[in-house]
Amino acid sequence: MNFLKKSAAVILLAFVLSCVFGGFNIPNDTDDSLATIYSTDGRILRMSENDAQQYLKDGWEKDFKNVMTTVWKTDGSSKSILKSQVGMYINSGWSADKSDVTVVMTDKDGNEKEIFKDNAELYKEKGWRIKTESVPKEDKGKNIKAVALTFDDGPNKQTTNRLLDILEENNVKATFFVLGDRAEKDAETLKRIYNDKMEIGSHTYSHKQLTKMSAENIKNEVDKTNNAIYKAIGQNPTLIRPPYGSYNENVKSLSGVPIVLWSVDTLDWKSKNADAIYKEVTESVKDGSVLLFHDIYSTSVDAVERIIPELKNRGYEMVTVSELAEIKGKEMKSGGVYTNF
Ligand code: NI
């Protein structure tokens, strides 16, 4: 795999550098002045503690465990993968949420067991039944092809308003994960998002990495954002998307609303190129996708203007995240993590 080659190259580079500068030690782990840091796309760097601080603010991690996550299949197989690979795995039938591939079954004595879906028939033959028989999503959303366009990091007076014009003209709904401090500074644009019947989610107050914060500080980020949004529109956000998609048990229990990540990353912040964004979406989109954009870049708005008619041509409806969950018959729970529907 290409990714493996890339990360191997970086590790090799780190090794060579440590040989040259560190006197042939592999990597010089006894040197406390150097920090090893990891990115969710598999890069590994060694640098001074001081230099590392900036990287950590940009979403790099000191603990390799934090750039990894687990995906599952209904047959019970699981894999530990880089967080940046989640979308790719979801597109080939894996799930980032274990509860998607399991069912809770109960026997006549009331004993409960969580088992992988492929084993459900076997248990039924032994007299177990599915405890919460929810409507299979294949049945509910069968005839409706739909996706959710989602926009992070705003609002921004210029670009967000132009985007709203485009969404309105095309009669398309979207979801905005807004930052509390920007919502405070630009309550007018947030009001328009709300009045245009878009869904509003929290992207926290100041875009810090929540997994590096104490429970108290996480709660503070969540509450401050809710207050800023409530002040502008008289409603609390219905969803949350933690910055960098980073979450842990504290984030889950303190969010108060469903956690929504994404299955198609347009990488618009990186390319700032409408053609590249268009290509990313049109190649990766599928029924139930959650697409990640940032409404603070004019290039992203340019791309969306072209993407909407193309998705319509392919028969997709563009709806808010909560509407997409509803169409696909999936109930979202507070603290649950959702990447697609
Ligand atoms: Ni963000």
Hey, which residues does 151 pair with through a beta bridge? Answer: 176, 293
- Å from CA of 315 to ligand 1 middle: 29
Q: Which of 153, 203, 207, 294 is catalytic?
A: 294
What is residue 166's predicted lDDT score, i.e. its pLDDT?
Answer: 98
Query: CA-CA distance, 271 to 73, in Å (whole number)?
Result: 32
- Report the greatest alpha carbon distance in the chain: 67
Query: CA-CA distance, 148 to 325, in Å (whole number)?
Result: 10
Reply yes or no on whether the pLDDT at 10 is more than 70: no
What is residue 12's predicted lDDT score, i.e. its pLDDT?
Answer: 47
pLDDT tens digits, 232-284:
999 999 999 999 999 999 999 999 999 999 999 999 999 999 999 999 999 99
Average pLDDT, the chain: 89
Q: Say how many Å lie between the first and final Cα of the chain, rounded.
A: 27
What is residue 161's predicted lDDT score, i.e. its pLDDT?
Answer: 98
Closest Cα partner for 297 from 286, 305, 308? 305
- 3-class SS string, 131-200: CCCCCCHHHHCCCCCEEEEEEECCCCHHHHHHHHHHHHHCCCCCEEEECHHHHHHCHHHHHHHHHCCCEE
Reply yes or no on whether the pLDDT at 26 is more than 50: no
67 with 39: CB under 8 angstroms?
Answer: yes
Query: What is this structure's pTM?
Result: 0.63
What percent of the residues of the chain are helix, what percent strand, and what percent coil, each to the nearest 5? 45, 20, 35
Share above pLDDT 70 across residues of the chain, in percent, rounded to a whole number: 87
- Å from CA of 269 to ligand 1 middle: 9
- Å from CA of 168 to ligand 1 middle: 24
Least confident of 69-73, 272-276, 290-294: 69-73
| Residues with Cβ within 8 Å of residue 214, at least 6 apart in sequence | none
pLDDT tens digits, 33-67:
789 999 988 899 999 988 999 999 888 999 999 99
What is the average per-residue pLDDT within 182-193?
97
40 with 242: CB under 8 angstroms?
Answer: no
Q: Which of 152, 186, 265, 268 is catalytic?
A: 152
User: Residue 99 — very low, low, confident or very high, per pLDDT cuts 50/70/90?
Assistant: confident
- Å from CA of 264 to ligand 1 middle: 15
What is residue 22's predicted lDDT score, i.e. its pLDDT?
Answer: 43
Reply yes or no on whether the pLDDT at 5 is more than 80: no
Q: Catalytic residue at 152?
A: yes
What is the average per-residue pLDDT within 141-155?
90
- Residue 81 φ/ψ, nearest 5 degrees: -135, 165
Query: CA-CA distance, 62 to 209, in Å (whole number)?
Result: 12
What is residue 242's predicted lDDT score, i.e. its pLDDT?
Answer: 98
pLDDT tens digits, 149-169:
999 999 999 999 999 999 999
What is residue 21's predicted lDDT score, i.e. its pLDDT?
Answer: 44
Q: Catalytic residue at 203?
A: no
User: Residue 141 — very low, low, confident or very high, per pLDDT cuts 50/70/90?
Assistant: low
Does 53 or 3 have the greater pLDDT score? 53
Reply yes or no on whether the pLDDT at 190 is more than 50: yes
- Å from CA of 328 to ligand 1 middle: 26
Sheet strands (E) in the chain: 34-38, 44-48, 68-72, 78-82, 102-106, 112-116, 129-130, 146-152, 175-178, 199-202, 239-240, 259-260, 264-265, 290-294, 317-318, 337-338
